[in-house]
Homo-oligomer: A and B are copies of this chain.
Amino acid sequence: MARPSEFDRNEAIDRSIKVFARHGFEAASTSDLIESMGIGRQSLYGAFGDKRGLFLEALHRYSDGSLQQMGEALATGTAVDAIEAALLVGLGSSRDIETGCLGVGSIIEFSRQDEDINALNDQAGEAVIAAFAERVRAGINAGEFDPDLDPDAVGRMLLALRSGLKVTARGGAKEAELRTTARLAMRGLARVGAS
């Protein structure tokens, strides 16, 4: 048809994710974005419409990647170890204290005020809850977890816990503390009656 884009769309979005994760939506200036993305201003507006359009794509892509990372973590080892790994994956903590979470960040920044962001976060949240719940069911079937547990409720708890861990990590907590916190909150999942 016509002249093709000179930049890779997904790579540009990935770079924008870093900027948004660091500064949030409002405080991420378009000048910061185009510089970090390595594209021109008009390219940003041509490809994504406006700053909000870019953010929606960034949030979507970030949530997808995050869910995939957690899915991989959930697929290994015992139920407790897998869930612990899924809780901690991608938290960054000491390595890159600047990196935040686009999901938590957008919830704090927008609350429930933006319908499109609501939809993205609701969908991503449900997917995470479902992934946790499935692993909890497997843990119950394997005899590791208490059969009285409601897997969906536990899934919601684990999502909330992960949000809290992200806040704690961004607040500067060490990885060992995050791990201890995760373990303590999961303490009640283990089968009590024993065999």
Assess whether A147 is interfacial by the CB under 8 Å rule: no
Residue interface mask A101-118, B partner, CB < 8 A = 1: 000110111011000001
Interface class of chain A by DSSP: helix
Least Cβ–Cβ distance between A137 and chain B, in angstroms: 15
How many residues of A are counted as interface, with CB atoms below 8 angstroms from the partner's CB atoms?
Answer: 47
Assess whether A170 is interfacial by the CB under 8 Å rule: yes
Assess whether A1 is interfacial by the CB under 8 Å rule: no
Least Cβ–Cβ distance between A32 and chain B, in angstroms: 14
Assess whether A111 is in contact with B125, with CB atoms less than 8 Å apart: no
Considering the chains assembled together, what is the distance between the CA atoms of A22 and B111 in angstroms? 8
Assess whether A187 is interfacial by the CB under 8 Å rule: yes
Residue interface mask A145-164, B partner, CB < 8 A = 1: 00000000110110111111
Given contacts A157-B185, A162-B164, contact A121 B24 (CB under 8 A): no
Which residues of chain B have C-beta atoms less than 8 A from A192's C-beta?
A: 192
Which residues of chain B have C-beta atoms less than 8 A from A160's C-beta?
A: 161, 164-165, 167-168, 173, 178, 181, 185
Q: 4 closest A-B pairs (Cβ-Cβ)? A: A187-B188, A164-B164, A188-B188, A163-B167
The residues of A with any CB-CB pair to B shorter than 8 Å are: 22, 24, 26-27, 97-98, 100, 104-105, 107-109, 111-112, 118, 121-122, 125, 153-154, 156-157, 159-165, 167-168, 170-173, 177-178, 180-181, 184-190, 192
Could you pull out 26 A-B pairs where Cβ atoms are within 8 angstroms?
A: A24-B26, A24-B109, A26-B27, A97-B111, A98-B111, A100-B111, A104-B167, A105-B108, A121-B171, A122-B172, A156-B173, A156-B177, A156-B180, A157-B181, A159-B168, A160-B161, A160-B167, A160-B178, A161-B164, A162-B164, A163-B164, A163-B168, A186-B188, A187-B188, A187-B189, A192-B192
